[in-house]
Amino acid sequence: MQGRGILVALGIVAIGALMPLGAAPASSAGLPGTYTNPLSPLDTPDSDIARSGATYYAFSTGDGFFNIPVMSTTDLSSWPQTLLFNPDVSDALPCQTGSVAGNDCQISAWATRAPSNGAPWSPSMVQVGGEFYLFYAAWDPSMAHYCVGVAESTHPMGPFDDRSTGPVVCQPTLGGSIDPDVYQDQAGNYYLAWKNNDGYSSTTPATLWASPIAFSPTGAQLVGSTTALITQNRLWETTIEQPEMVQLGDQWLLFFSGGPWETSAYAIGYAYCQGPAGPCADPNATPVFGSAGEVAGPGAPSIFTDTTGRLWMSYNAWTAGDVGYPDGARSLRMDPLCMVGGTPVLLGPSVTPQSLSPSCPTQLPDGYQLAAADGGIFSYRSPFRGSMGGKPLNAPVVGEAADPAGGYWEVAADGGIFAFGAPFYGSVGGWSLPAMIVGMAATADGGGYWEIDSLGDIANFGDAGNYGSMGGLALAAPVVAMVADPGGGGYWEVASDGGIFAFGDARFYGSMGGHSLDAPIVGIAPTPDGGGYWEVASDGGIFAFGDARFYGSMGGDPLNAPVVGIAPTPDGGGYWEVASDGGIFAFGDARFYGSMGGEPLNAPVVGIARIGT
């Protein structure tokens, strides 16, 4: 982290399960009682919670009293409320010589408190057999940087003793190494993640790193290759830090903090990873958990399970109105974490009494997903299953379609289909085509899909039936998109002049064909009952037919880039428009969850789909 708190009460928090997450079976009963955020009024920067048996331990960045404060509870609701003379609060990493108050504290053979009373940062603890290992970042005078070390104890509250002669990892050419996170895979292998201290005598952007580690009587050593997980690349981040790598089900996720920590702009994001050592991809252009109501600048995500196996995320946050030191405190908080269709969903932030036996939702809220011409996928409250972004393509991606089960397909201009979390039923990729593919649509049950070219010709796969097409017929303008009838048994094709062509059970409700248009039509979306549809033009104009209602549009408003697609909300009470720069425009009951507008893109956005609802 770029800065740390002044000498306020106490920093506490540090989570990291002492066993692979999901090892304990989830109990339907859950824990008794309630909890209320903040859990403690004490200052809790860089939080991390670890459970050993039935006791929970919260560690944090040091302060003017302790090097690494640690506190404990057995019920997750009754955390220490005071700092001094409290048997449930202690210094996990006491000075070997000197003292905290005297600013001459020698933490180990290599580590001291930094000049101007700089305490150790961001601890992370793990149990290996009968020993407990505490990773931390501290000042190395020989390096003139913060570096990551490890100390050992026979008890989770310590005292921990660092018997090593040097740090576990330090990257002096990158500003040093901080914010360690130790974790384990289901095969029993251990890993360490951390960040390089960007901005500290370094111009290198913040990167989160990972490496396998091995434990020995003298501490821990990196083994194998060190890999970069992700590098800051979003406008909201300014930096990234506090990695928290976890395996939830069959999916590895990397949670992290980003933004200026001393402000309400601090927030939490996550990335999907191919394994415990990455690489990782962040599909979200905006943070997934930021300031809300009384909760300001949440950060330091840490994932753990309670004694019944339920997932929780602990985090620290300011209280709105008291953001920043010396008035504010980054207090310890937690809320349930649910996995819904492969997507993490935090049931918070909460500030009123909440049950320790929560229920998780069974489906995601109404989110959306953007597809770019290079195959990149950007998800907003929708599950990310992968993409063709960064992979070689024979032709650009021109659209995507949703599988009701939560996956999706991308389609390229040459007819290639790429399935993510969805079955592959075939494609016209590699065929000789009379015209380029311009889009696709999926059947209502996800058992098949259609591809359509600019001549209006249809190719069907899986249980998608061929109900006819404009292929071989004269067109006044090229076909630009198609959409399936939600009731099944039909589909609509739409041309750039607004002409609508209905096939199978799909009914014709009218069109803009033959009307004067300010801009060409680029997409179509149906109402939930199939009783109508909307056409959208590249200038953002919306044209509603059948039972489709008009909720507003960008028509007549200035745009930074042309509109390229439309997606309806689940109840048909609104819709989203998307522009080629990734800008999102929400109308009716459609909510805005973020966009790529203003973000750098490797390729233009070509479409939008509602995924996972």
> At a CB cut-off of 8 Å and minimum separation 6, what does 187 contact?
none
Summarize pLDDT for 117-173 with one digit per residue, the tens.
689 999 999 999 999 999 999 999 999 999 999 999 999 999 999 999 999 999 999
410-429 residue pLDDT tens: 999 999 999 999 999 999 99
Distance of CA 479 to the CA centre of its chain: 36
Residue 169 DSSP symbol: B
Residue 69: pLDDT over 90: yes
Give the pLDDT score at 249: 85
CA–CA distances in Å: residue 560 to residues 121, 578, 580, 584: 43, 11, 9, 11
| Phi, psi of 578, rounded to the nearest 5 degrees | -125, 140
Q: Assess contact for 463 and 504: CB atoms under 8 A.
A: no
Strands of 165-205 (E only): list them.
177-184, 190-196
Evaluate if residue 19 carries a pLDDT over 80: no
Structure tokens at 131: 């020993």
Average pLDDT of the residues in 182-206: 91
List the domain boundaries for the chain: 34-355, 368-609
Residue 334 has pLDDT above 50, yes or no: yes
Looking at domain 368-609, what is its CATH homologous superfamily? YVTN repeat-like/Quinoprotein amine dehydrogenase (2.130.10.10)
Rounded distance between C-alpha atoms, residue 612 and residue 364, angstroms:
6
Q: What is the rounded average pLDDT of the residues 178-184? A: 97
Cβ burial, residue 556 (10 Å; 0-12/13-18/19+): exposed
Q: Counting beta carbons within 10 angstroms of the beta carbon of residue 167, is it exposed (0 to 12), middle (13 to 18) or buried (19 or more)? A: buried
Please give the pLDDT value at position 166.
Answer: 95
pLDDT tens digits along 432-478: 999 999 999 999 999 999 999 999 999 999 999 999 999 999 999 99
Cβ atoms within 10 Å of 612's Cβ, excluding its own: 29
Query: Looking at residues 559-588, what average pLDDT do you find?
Result: 95
Fold classified for 34-355: Tachylectin-2; Chain A (2.115.10)
pLDDT at residue 403, rounded to an integer: 92
87 vs 161 pLDDT, higher one: 161
Concatenating the DSSP letter of every residue in 225-248 gives: --EEEEE--STTTSSEEEEEEEEE
Q: What is the DSSP letter of 258?
A: E
Counting runs of H as helices and runs of E as strands, what totals does the chain give? 0, 40
The answer to whether residues 441 and 483 touch, using CB atoms and an 8 Å cutoff, is: yes
Q: Is pLDDT of 579 > 90?
A: yes
CB 584 within 8 A of CB 609: no
Encoded tokens for 367: 């989110």
**Amino acid 23: pLDDT:** 35
Q: Residue 288: pLDDT band by 50, 70, 90 thresholds?
A: confident
How confident is the model at residue 85, as a pLDDT? 81
Amino acid at 487: G
Name which of 59, 55, 333 is nearest 181 in CA terms: 59
**Sequence-separated contacts (24+) of 552-559 with Cβ below 8 Å:** 552/587, 552/588, 553/577, 553/587, 554/585, 555/518, 559/583
Tokens of 598: 């203003």
pLDDT band at 612 (very low <50, low <70, confident <90, very high): low
b/e 479-495 (16+ beta carbons within 10 angstroms → b):
bbbbbbbbbbebbbbbb
d(CA 378, CA 67): 41
